[in-house]
Amino acid sequence: MAPSSAPAPALVARADGSALRLDGVTRRFGGLVAVDGVSLVLPPGGRLAVIGPNGAGKTTLFRLIAGEFRPTSGRVHLFGEDVTRTSERARARRGISRTFQVSTLFEQLTVIENVLLAAQAGSATSRSFWSRTPLRGAHAGRAADMLERVGLAARAGVRVAELSHGEHRQLELAAALIHGPRLLLLDEPAAGLSAGERDMLRILLGEIPDSVGVVLIEHDMTLALEFAREVLCLDNGVPLAYGTPEEIRANPAVQAVYLGRRD
């Protein structure tokens, strides 16, 4: 299949049963169009990378999906439901979770306390911001298992302020996965990581359950194109190309705008 210059209409036809569907999503800030007419479909368990140069609108698109921003026009669907006007918290209850470029961890709490807090925040039965019992005990086993999965079991009692940057990223992934999301948004998880830490991240990303759909923003092109099954390239908020990693690598417009540029 030849490289595409825009999301193919056929993608929208696969919308039934999708984890995520965007129909012509646009976001304006005054005279600035940050995201301009993005349409895509992510099936359950799909792996999508969103790429583009700095200022392309990638993080704004994440915020539109998560519910932090509402689109100026267009529609957002999660798991077959129109959530365009639904709050960020309500979307989280439907099964969406995310990480951020800038850490949102609690530095003075321990590693396992951060995971427990994330589990409590995602619990439908949570009635308070931080309750040590009985809810904390109900999540303790899952929290310990999650730390084992991301390689932080031995660091469970360590304060987050004492972790390395790579360990922060591991913990952020644990916190995002602890309440069993159906859709995970990862905002530049490899930012600032050493080569060894990036290798660890590759392993962790590969171990995300197939039942969880993932949308990844990442400047490490090798990591992004290895991980993704489909790739969306944005340029100044506009969808420049949408296709498989092989199609994106071969797309001359993508090469000119992004792959050949050092940001």
For 206-238, write each residue's pLDDT tens digit: 999 999 999 999 988 889 999 999 999 999 999
In this prediction, residues 11-38 reach a mean pLDDT of: 84
What pLDDT does 77 receive?
A: 97
Annotated domain spans of the chain: 1-95+181-263, 104-180
Give domain 1-95+181-263's CATH architecture.
3-Layer(aba) Sandwich (3.40)
Phi, psi angles (nearest 5°) of residue 151: 80, 25
pLDDT at 12 over 90: no
For 82-132, write each residue's pLDDT tens digit: 999 999 999 999 999 999 877 778 999 999 999 999 988 755 444 444 444
What pLDDT does 33 receive?
A: 97
pLDDT at 15 over 80: no
pLDDT at 260 over 70: no
CB 242 within 8 A of CB 72: no
In this prediction, residues 246-250 reach a mean pLDDT of: 94
Beta-carbon contacts of residue 109 (< 8 Å; ≥ 6 apart): 117, 159, 160
Specify the range with the lowest mean pLDDT, choosing from 3-17, 58-72, 152-166, 244-258: 3-17
3-state SS track over the chain: CCCCCCCCHHHHCCCCCCCEEEEEEEEEECCEEEEEEEEEEECCCCEEEEECCCCCCHHHHHHHHHCCCCCCEEEEEECCEECCCCCHHHHHHHCEEECCCCCCCCCCCEHHHHHHHHHHHCCCCCCCCCCCCCHHHHHHHHHHHHHHHCCCHHHCCCEHHHCCHHHHHHHHHHHHHCCCCCEEEEECCCCCCCHHHHHHHHHHHHCCCCCCEEEEECCCHHHHHHHCCEEEEEECCEEEEEECHHHHHHCHHHHHHHHCCCC
What pLDDT does 124 receive?
A: 45
pLDDT at 45 over 70: yes
Q: Which of 22-36, 116-130, 187-201 has the highest mean pLDDT?
A: 22-36
What pLDDT does 96 receive?
A: 95
pLDDT, mean over the chain: 86
Specify the range with the lowest mean pLDDT, choosing from 33-42, 80-89, 186-195: 186-195
Express as a percent the part of the chain with pLDDT over 70.
85
pLDDT at 13 over 70: no
pLDDT at 38 over 90: yes
